Every structure is written in structure tokens, then in C-alpha cells.
Structure 1
Amino acid sequence: MSLEIFNTYESEVRGYIRSFPTVFSTSKNAEIWDEDGKRYIDFFAGAGALNYGHNNQHINAAVIDYMQNNGIGHALDMGTVAKRDFIEAFVTKILQPRHLNYKLQFVGPTGTNAIETALKIARKVKGRKQVISFTNGFHGMSMGSLSITGNRYYHDDSYGVPGYTTQVPYNQYLGAKVDTIAYLRKILEDASSGTELPAAIVLETIQAEGGINVAEVQWLKELRKICDDFDTLMIVDDIQVGNGRTGDFFSFERAGIKPDIVTLSKSIGGGHPMSLVLMKPELDKWSPGEHSGTFRGNNLAFVASTTAINTYWSDDHFSNEIKTKSKLIQQRMEELALTFPSLTRDVRGHGFIWGIEFHDAELCSKICSESFDKGLVVETAGSEGNVIKFLGPLIISEALIEEGFDILKQAIETCSQQHYQ
């Protein structure tokens, strides 16, 4: 096994290959093997793109059958059987049972395409340039998305990132005693705050890359009211924490709120590139072709997603299964914090996204590297990289969850002894 060809010819921008320095060969559900046959448990799930696991048998079978029957592959935004089947499944099994009424807009294949589209339509509809986002938020790498992303590591003046954005403190960013909703309301109603009335407020209900920061239900409800009171659109970025990651299909369901716009990507494609913007019907003010993209209709992703919806979301069984297994994940995370109280600061999470925060970011990095050597793929999060994040596939078995956490515990023991010798 050699990484020479990647090191020689691939751009220095590559990142995950540095964290996971091997050449992967095969995968199934929540396990991956490299070309030497070494097995790894997956606590990463393609950064949340593989909620249904690697090579899901139901999805693979449907996609292979579609291809073998010469199903339409590329069709721009033309009508296809695959797109029709997806829309019917998504509307009848996802939207209608949740009493949600949205128009669907298919955009380019990545999450940042969905964010750019949401910002564009919000500004068009409201006739305002300003957008408000939150500290520690992450929304993508293109210019509009970067303008509402918090981490300064991704920012550079030479990129020409546009202005007209304001970032305000997220829930508990300033501690439990500071009411960040009251702060937001004050700067919106005060004509001397220097903040223009925004077209939209953009948020993740759980900040994933930002360090697994979970917004409280009451905070989300009050934010919805602020949007209503100030005629501002609420955009929920559900790219990483939607698609069942929280136990419900949408992350905002636990708060009983209805965003004006929702962005979906990653696992909405069932393992294939796909991105989707949901908007209330009255917001659909586009002229034909006004917002376009060559790959805004991935028919293989439509087939995969339709299969995932029909297989896992036709009733409450899968959702309940996620919520049951999430209790085990929480238990194992909390056990780590109790076992290593001098190393850790906090445990945070909900559903199938959990993080354990360490005091020392360098130690965090070493733990993930040691975990990989022992056969576990797990990554860090947070602006300082000091949170180890569980983001495993939703279909992972309890046995693999237990085995993976055993490896993580061993890695913490090994690294803490070496780090503080």
C-alpha cells in the first residue's frame, strides 16, 4: 500500500487522506477495508453523506437495476421517471406526514449549492441584501456560503467573499446565563444597532462542524417568532444533521417549527451526489432558467433516495431504532467523560451526532490518529479541533457501536499516557 501517487499528483488541499492515510478498497454498511485487507469501523459516514451506510443492499440493487435497464442518467431539469418517483415518495412519505408544504428545487450536487440558492431566493423575495447567521456555523466553501460560515480558517480577503452578512451569538455561545435571543431581538428593533433588517436568518439546529452545539427547543421556537415578527425568512441548513441524523427526518421537528426554507444534501442522495432546496410555495418567485446548473438532476441519486425513503421512512420503525441506538451512543460518550475527567470538558449531542470536548486539541488529534491505527475512522470538530465527533451511519449495529467505542477508549488511554509523560 503506497500513497505516493496521491502525494505526487494530487493538490495539497487534500485533507481526509492525511487523517486516514491508507488506500481504501471495499466497504459495507458501517465497515471499510483497505487494499491490504485491514478492517475499520466507520464513525464518520462520509461526513454525514452515508447515513444509510456503505453499499446499502437495497439502494445498490435499485441503482444497478435502473442502470441495467438503461434508465436516464443525465437530464438537466427535464422530467424523468426517476425524478417523478422521488418527488412522489418525498412528498407522500416525508412532507405530508409532517404537515409540511414545500416546493422542491433541485440544484447542483453539493450542499453549498443549496445554500447559495437559498440565499439568492431569500434576497430576491424580500428585496434585502442583509443575511444573519451564527457564530460557529458552517455552511459551505463557495463565496456566499463562506460569508455566513464562522470559522476564520476558511476565510481569506483575497477570495472576495461578499459582505451583507452579520453573525450573532448562537444558543449558549456566551454561556447559559446570556440570552442570545434577547440580544438578537434588540439589534433588530434598534435603529442604531448598525444592523440592517435581514432577508433571512440562517442556522443549523445542531452545529456539527462547529463543535456539536445543540440549540435548545425553546431557543429555536423563539428564533422562529423573531423571524415572524420582523418579516424575515428562516433558513434551516439540514445538510449534515437532517436526513434522519437526529432520529427524526428533519432536525427541526423536535422543536415543532416550520422553516421557510430548508437545505438538504449529503445523505438525501442515498450515497449519490444530490442537493435540494425546500421552500414555502409563496417564495417560489424564480423565472424559468433564472437559477440553473448542469448537474441539478442526478437520476441515480433520485433512484437511491426513493429506495431509501421507501425502505426506511414508510413508518416509524427506523426512526425509533435510531432513537434507541442513540441512547447507547450517549451512554458510551458519557462513560468516556467519567473515565477521563481531567482530559475532557463536556459531552454534547442528540440522536446520532455526539461529541466529547477535550481541553487539549493536540491530544484530540493524536487520539483520532491512534484510533485509526487501531481500526476506527473518527474525526474531530470545533473551531479548535478539540471535539471528537461520533457521526456513524444510522444503520450501524449496536455491536459495532460498542466495538468502536472500546477502540476509542483504548486510544484515549494510550495517547494520554504518551502525551503527558
Structure 2
Amino acid sequence: MSATPTRQKKTLWLYGIIALLLIITVGTLISAQNIKTTAQKDAEAAPPDPSTITATVTREKLRTTVPLTCTANYATSTPLRYSGEGQYTAITIKHGDTVGNGTLIAEVNGEPLITLTGGFALYRDLKLDDSGPDAALLNEALTAMGRQGPQPARITEDTYEALNNLLDSLGYAHVKTDQPIPARYFLIINRAGVVTGNPRATGAIADGPVATIAEGNKTLSCTGTTGRLTPEARSGQKVTVPSLGDTEYVATLGYKNTTEAAGAAGNSQAGRQANGAEGAAGSNLNGAAGAAGGAEGERILTLDVGDKADSLRGAVNAELTLEETPEAHLVVPSSALYTRDGQTRVIVLGPESSNGSKAREEREVTVTVISNANGKNAVTGDLHEGDSVKIMREKK
């Protein structure tokens, strides 16, 4: 028997009411999730509880240090400056070349300019049977090149033969034994060196030296990070270069010359004739380079780091130790210390729980500060190497 229309209407109304109640209930739940109290909002906006910052107690020598900036340089730089007149008609060396006995570095007015190493200037043209220190220098240089055997301090036919052998290898005409050996063919340097930077171009001799050579081993030249070295810097102090490891290098205090005088290659000649390197005014004939011959300039520290200097590029950081405690002590950072009741104290933290659920036990320890440097303090007290101490936060 089918339901009456009245009964069907009641059923539909019932279903409608149930559906409406469900919609209201779901809406209420969604709204409740999105509506937060002021307290809830403040709690969520507040920063998390600060975590505990710790430091480890170490045992070390306390050092007072200052930072340095260092660059790798050769021990001595010498400009290859010729004192004659005329033109450089060819430049025959380049950056990185080694310059020593028998090196053709340039042509002057179409003639060779050859370097010789030694301690005396060629102050004259040398003729057969001439003797003296200049004759000895030329013979010794030719012998060192392997062009001849040992010779006396006198120009012999063997000297001419050895010289012509050299000139022939360089592509120049021989000098006959009835002709003087031109001193203008030679530039005297103290010792062999390496060309640093690009040599000059051809042109007037007066425009500048052929090039600059670096003599000796590479060393590190160090100054303060501001460009000036601290007045407390002394020879014998120790410097570490982090990029080279933990090795401590002994520093030597010196001066960076402010003039070219001490570095000019020596081959000056009376009357400034066209056969030698320009020696600076007042320099000796062999052009000895170094601070001893030049004016005092900028203070620098020099470090001999051996072959490691070749691996450095550009400026590197270093650290100069001004003072060091004679013995190792327990050391804590200054930020771990605080004062209470007139005593200096630290808080030592116990071990962490295995699951991190419990706060670490704190133990207050009274300490005595022996010395301090660079934010560290050497202390005595009931502490042990490896203890964790609490870093104290500043109250705001």
C-alpha cells in the first residue's frame, strides 16, 4: 500500500532538517578551528624559548695577537737600467725569464746588451792584455757560462774566443783581438734573477729600465690590515699563516724602501759613459740592494716560508703573536664569566640526557682569572679540560 502525500511531506521535512543541522555543525567546527583567542595568537607570535649556548673549556697558551696581511715577494727587486744614450731597438726578454750570466736582454742602437753577474763594474773598454778586477769579472762570467776554462785576471786571446763564441750564439758580429771589447755591451747585476712583470717597449733609453728582476727566494712581506704595522711588532715574534697550516714562522722586522736607490743595478761609470746600468746617487759600484743602502721607509715583517710561498696568490691573512703565556692554562671565553658577590664565576653544565628530555644540570664554579687576551681568559678553579660552560646572555 503506497504512502499518502501527507506522510511523504513529513518525511521530506525531516530529511531537510537533518541536512541543515549537519551543515550548521560542520560550519561551526571549521569556524572554531580558524578562530583563535588573543592569548593563542600572542603565544604563536612569541619567539621560541632561547636555547642554551655553550663553550668548551680548553687548555692552551693564551696569546695576544693582531691580524696581518701578507703578500709573496722576492727578497730583492732590481731594475735593469742602462745609463747610456740612444734607443732600445729590441727587447729580448719577457715576464718569467731568468736573467743571469750571458743573457741578452735588449739591443741598444742595434748592438747587444748582455747581463753579467759580479761585484765590479766594467768601467772601460778592455783590450788584449788588460788586467784588473773588471777583466777578472768578464773572464769569470765567461767561465761560468762554460765558454772557456779558468783564466787569470787578464784579457787573453782565450777571452776573445770565448766572447766571440757567445756573440755568435746570439747572432752578433765577432770582436777582433786588435779591437777593444766594448763595455757598453754589458750590464752588470749582482746575481741572477727572474723577470717580474712585463718588460718595457722599445724606444728612448731615458724612458725607463728594460725590466725589473727579482733576486733570491720568495718571502712573505706582511703589514697590518690597515696598511700600517703595529708599533709592537718586533723581530723574533711568531706569525701563523692559516692558508699554510699551523706552522709558526719567525718574523724579521725590516723596512720597505721608499726610493729606488738601493735597488738599482750597479754598473755606474765615471763620466756616465754609455756602458753600464744606472747606479743611484750614492750607491756603491756593485749596486748592493737592501735596506742598508736605502732610506728607512714603511715597517714590514718578512717571513721565510720556503717553497710554500710559490703556492700563494695575492694577499693572504696571517696572525702575529705579540705575547704568549709561558705555560698552558684552562681557558674559557669572556662571555662565560659573570660576577656575583664580588667573585668571578662560571656555570658548568652536566652531561646531556640520552634522549634530550631533561634539562642539563648546572653547577656554579668560582674561578680566578690569571690573564686574558682576544676574548679569552686563563683561569684556575674547579674546572676540567673538556667541560661545557654556559655562555651568559646580556639582560635587556
TM-score band, normalised by shorter chain = under 0.3
Whichever structure has more strand as a proportion of its residues is: 2
Q: TM-score, normalised by structure 1?
A: 0.19
Q: TM-score, normalised by structure 2?
A: 0.20
Greater C-alpha Rg: 2
Whichever structure has more helix as a proportion of its residues is: 1
